[in-house]
Homo-oligomer: A and B are copies of this chain.
Amino acid sequence: MGEFDLIARYFTRPAARAALGVGDDCALLQPAPGTQLAISSDMLVEGRHFFADVDPLTLGHKALAVNLSDLAACGAKPLAFTLALALPRVDEAWLAAFSKGLLALADAHSCELVGGDTTQGPLNICITVFGEVPVLNGKSQALLRSGAKAGDDVYVSGTLGDARLALEALRGTVPLPLGLLAQARRRLEQPTPRVALGQALRGIASAAIDVSDGLIGDLQHILRASRAGATLETALATRLVAACAHPDWSGTGIGAEKQLEFTLAGGDDYELAFTAPESAREAVQAAAKQAQTPVSRIGRINADPGLRLLDAAGALIERRYASFDHFA
């Protein structure tokens, strides 16, 4: 099967909302009047972002999910995406499963595949995603990293740490009962981008980011962009690990120290971390309810720069947690 047959068989569907989809030199998109286009690009590499033996169906899901998560963090509504794919060889079973996982998530968010590229090379998946953000009275409604103010609450959606827990169990560095591994592994391999929550938080959240490299590292992007600091009650955050609620957790031999590390610096969570004024607490919970996504208040923005972590007793935690860096 050649390059053009491959595109036709697995990646071409009639354009729905795009003015022009797959099959010409460019795709054409016409954003609605009074909107801006939000754009994000993520590249996934074998051995770095996924194991060589990963199920291609979940890989297709994840490749788009991490991009949708960036749209969510901006409060953008998904519109379309391009897919550039380097493949070592044409493996039809792999392509069928990969495109199935990819397009199922795309359909769930009405996010259309409008173009891209395929080439021979070490497995590499590069998706660029496009979303729509309203502009009201000349002001963009996009959620940015730069709007956090001293006194704002700090929130995180869903749960943290499960993806890292699965990664470490798969690497063999922590023991994990099979049922718990399956649950955590779903979070690692098929993350849920918080697309509805991001849109519901427009006009409410003062700043937002998606948690991809670990809560602490990503929150610090908000702090730097907002020229502010924050204090986190880590006891609130660590209660968020979904696995904690699992009856088998206590028998895993994973101590409180590792639990804290996975929660605060785990990475691959694809939850939203965001800030909002104290006056917006009811609005935040209403947005969470509307988006059917739990959110938890875990700290507060301070005028003093830096991120302070408090333990359950309110004492400062001195240990430093490294955020994920692709070149560190």
Contact = CB atoms under 8 A, between A and B. Distances in A.
A53 interface: no
Contacts of A325: 2-4
B36 A19 contact: yes
A326 B120 contact: yes
A36 B41 contact: no
B145 A25 contact: yes
Contacts of A225: 23-24
A41 to B, nearest CB: 4
B38 A27 contact: yes
Given A90-B327, A327-B120, A27 B45 contact: no
For chain A, what secondary structure do more than half of its interface residues adopt (helix, strand, loop), or is it mixed? strand
Interface string A113-157: 011111111101010101101010000101011100000000000
Interface string A18-48: 0110011111111101001111111111111
A117 B41 contact: yes
Contacts of A140: 19-20, 28
Nearest to A89: B327
Chain A interface size range: 35 or more
B43 A36 contact: no
A85 B122 contact: no
Contacts of A178: none
Contacts of A26: 38-40, 70-71, 73-74, 76, 131, 142
A6 interface: yes
Given A70-B25, A225-B23, A39 B124 contact: no
Interface string A81-94: 01111110110000
